[in-house]
Amino acid sequence: MAEVVVSISDGLSRVVGSELARPGTKVLLREAVEQKLKLLLLFKTVDDILKKSKLTDEGLEELVEEYRENLADKYEVI
């Protein structure tokens, strides 16, 4: 497993103080970093797919409108 060192600003460090040393806080920080990295990977993957896409802005608007209509029908929303 790779190790990441996180620097906390002095102002934030003064506010949270000893909370940073608690095991629960370390787990929370690790999970937050993992979630952010997964999100960045997802955006990179989507960006790579979209670069190869031939979908136009007009085509995208049509798909969005169709999706909205389907959701409205599914959830009986006007």
Report the Cα 43 to chain-centroid distance in Å.
8
Average pLDDT for the chain: 89
pLDDT at 3 over 90: no
pLDDT confidence of residue 78: 62
Using 50, 70 and 90 to split pLDDT, how confident is the model at 23?
Answer: confident
For 60, list phi and psi in degrees, rounded to 5: -65, -45
Could you tell me the pTM of the whole model? 0.56
